[in-house]
Amino acid sequence: MATNKNFIEFITDQLSGSGEITSKLMFGEYAVYLDGKVVALAADNKFFVKPTQGGRAFIGSPVEAPAYPGAKLSFLIEDKLEDREWLCELIRITAMELPDPKPKKKKGK
């Protein structure tokens, strides 16, 4: 089951206080970006945050699950989706620990 548009709109709205939030549809699921960094995935109408040490400390005892078969474990966020302030703080903490995206290669002529 692919993530529906209402779910990703809800997630991006919840995260709007954390910075420039965007999402990109990929293979029926969504990557969620904060200021150009992929910080989370939405898959099967579930929200998965990239694991970081800071995120783990903030959550306490995160539930970990793969966003799709064969994927690395991520923090599955279910019970805090309605808590906008908590969710924004988690995404800011996560983004601080993730590397900057690699610059895109220019296409040759």
Residue ranges covered by each domain of the chain: 5-97
Measured CA angle at 28 (ends 22, 34), to 5 deg? 15
Instruction: For residues 82-106, give the mean pLDDT.
Output: 91
CATH of domain 5-97: 3.30.1460.30
Q: In what order do the strands lie in the sheet with 37-43?
A: 21-26, 29-34, 37-43, 46-49, 73-77, 63-66
C-alpha to C-alpha distance for 101 and 35, rounded to whole angstroms: 10
pLDDT tens per residue, range 80-90:
999 999 999 99
Q: What is the mean pLDDT of residues 66-77?
A: 95
Q: How confident is the model at residue 109 (pLDDT cuts 50, 70, 90)?
A: low
More confident position, 103 or 40 = 40
Instruction: Identify whether the C-beta of residue 75 lies closer than 8 Å to the C-beta of residue 64.
Output: yes
